Amino acid sequence: MTIFKNLYVPLILIAVLVAIFSNFGSVISVIEQLTFTKINISSFGSLYTSSFNQTYFIENQWWRLVSPIFIHFSFAHLAFNCLWIYILGEKIERVDNKVIFILLIATSSIFSNFLQYYWTGLSLFGGLSGVIYGLLGYCMILELESKFQRYELPPALYLFMIAWLVLGFLGLLDLFGFGKVANYAHLGGLISGVMFAMIYKNFIKKLN
């Protein structure tokens, strides 16, 4: 189908469908299949999470390394993230290619989700924002090399991205009513995007 010729389209569509069927993360029976580690419901109705080892090495639920990116907890959360996936996805697929885009999605998903879980120990988090930081980190490195001509994104966008990350770690976003922010997911995404850009510059690009 023509609508799926761009890989960011199904990515956005899945996030929207998960938001609808989970009522923005409030239907546990839906999101329990997507959280980073398995969420269990006891016979008394209480929730408890399986360990990392139980989830991945015993039950082999490896899709959970990526799946939290599809969980969103409000309409604003979903809309903001999908907008940026569309903007950045279109540019990366057009300037680079679909393979680079999907590899970026995979690496930034895994790295951001794992770092958020590792530092907080919590399983119930989600959103595409860690991936967005990965895409922005990747674009930023390559933009510096091309003097911001490659993707034609304004330098102020990258400054805003860094400022938002710092404000999140300072707790100011929560203080000003933005809710709980997955700061380590943002940081993990940014690091993975920068690392991917360095690999692309020094190895992948030279093969083309």
Question: Is 186 considered catalytic here?
Answer: yes
Question: Is 123 considered catalytic here?
Answer: no
Residue 188: helix, strand or coil by DSSP?
A: helix
d(CA 17, CA 92): 24
d(CA 180, CA 172): 10
Q: Write the Ramachandran bin of 181: left for phi over 0, alpha for psi from -120 to 50, otherwise beta.
A: beta
d(CA 206, CA 47): 50
Given 108, 112, 129, 192, which residue is catalytic? Answer: 129
Q: Which residue has the tokens 């990350």?
A: 165
d(CA 65, CA 46): 24
3-state SS track over 18-59: HHHHCCCCCCHHHHCCCCCCCEEECCCCCEEECCHHHHHHHC
Given 72, 77, 108, 186, which residue is catalytic? Answer: 186
Active site residues: 129, 186
